Amino acid sequence: MVDNRNLLTGKRKYLLALILLLFISSICVAFSMGGDSDFDIAKREVLLRSVGHELLLQAGDSTSRVLPVKKVTKNEYQISFENELTFQSAPLVNTISRLLANDPFATDYIVSVMKCGTSDVAYGYEIAGNKRDDQIPCRGRKQPKACYIIDIKFKPADKNMAKGGVVLGSLPILAFIGFAFFRSFRPKEGLPGVQDKGIFILGAILFDAANRKLTSNGKQTDLTGTETRVLLIFARSPNITIERNRLQKEIWEAEGVIVGRSLDMFISKLRKKLEIDPHVKITNVRGKGYKLEVGAQ
């Protein structure tokens, strides 16, 4: 026979946990709707400088400077450079999207790459928070070397308040559903060592880490689990030297065995599979490690 007192105590525990979950969720949403603070603005400017830095590296320029980010209006910024540069549209879109993902208020924005001293737009696109309204033209073209200014206009935060209200109003329902399924839900096992299931654009190659595939011009190339883990490390830091010890540690240490020649073997296999785009190469940096060069000549 069921002890009603124990049953009641159990229900009270579940109710208390649900109330606590709702309270924490409400606080998180309230803080996220607080608008841009000085800290958020400073963080955004740092991210924008990082965009300029990575674009210079992708262009093969590791010496010239990214000029101070110019704040045109409250929601518009411009990135300019000391010297002329060239860029490919695909890495530009990928770099800006990846870095601005760290800005919680950068859900909707328009990017315009303009030639210095003119209002001519060499390349531009729009990113919408729901992704269905994204407007991104052909990503495969390489722009000629010139003086460029990257203008980014963000959607004002106050226009997102209605969305925040909808999120806040739906929290009780979401929390209840989440709590009801929490104990019975069992996440699917993913590829060991691959927490980031994103899609990376490497030149003309689309790298799908979750499905272990490379796609270029409609042609697909399958990757093994280890090849995927190795390429994922490079894809997160294109045109940056990755130390050999770091690669060995992150890929093989969890298995308890580190074999130096294994890394060379997988690098060799990846090089062959990346040959579908001659502008994407894994190069050996003598005495240091390897580098994934995107836009290599």
Q: What is the pLDDT along the chain (297 residues), one digit of tens a residue?
A: 444 444 445 556 666 676 777 667 666 655 555 455 677 788 888 889 999 889 888 888 889 899 999 999 988 999 999 999 888 888 888 899 898 888 887 888 999 999 998 878 888 888 887 665 667 776 667 788 899 999 999 988 654 444 455 455 555 555 555 555 444 444 444 444 444 457 899 989 999 999 999 999 888 999 998 899 899 999 999 999 999 888 888 877 655 555 556 788 889 999 999 999 989 999 999 989 999 999 865
Q: Indicate the fold that domain 199-294 takes in CATH.
A: Arc Repressor Mutant, subunit A (1.10.10)
User: Where are the alpha helices (H) located in 237-292, listed in sequence order?
Assistant: 244-252, 260-273
Q: Tell the burial category of 143 from Cβ atoms under 10 Å away from its Cβ (0-12, 13-18, 19+).
A: middle
Q: For residue 297, how many other CB atoms are within 10 A of its CB?
A: 7
Site of tokens 């979750």: 210
Do residues 196 and 211 lie in contact, with contact meaning Cβ atoms separated by under 8 Å? no
Domain range summary for the chain, segments of one domain joined by +: 38-155, 199-294
DSSP code of residue 70? E
pTM: 0.44
Could you list the beta-strand ranges (E) of the chain: 70-73, 76-80, 85-88, 109-115, 121-127, 142-146, 148-154, 199-202, 205-208, 213-216, 219-222, 241-243, 280-285, 289-294
DSSP code of residue 106? -
Q: What is the CA radius of gyration of the chain?
A: 24
Q: In Å, how far are 18, 56, 259 from 51, measured between CA atoms?
A: 41, 9, 36
Do residues 272 and 224 lie in contact, with contact meaning Cβ atoms separated by under 8 Å? no
Nearest to 226 by CA among 264, 189, 198, 188: 264
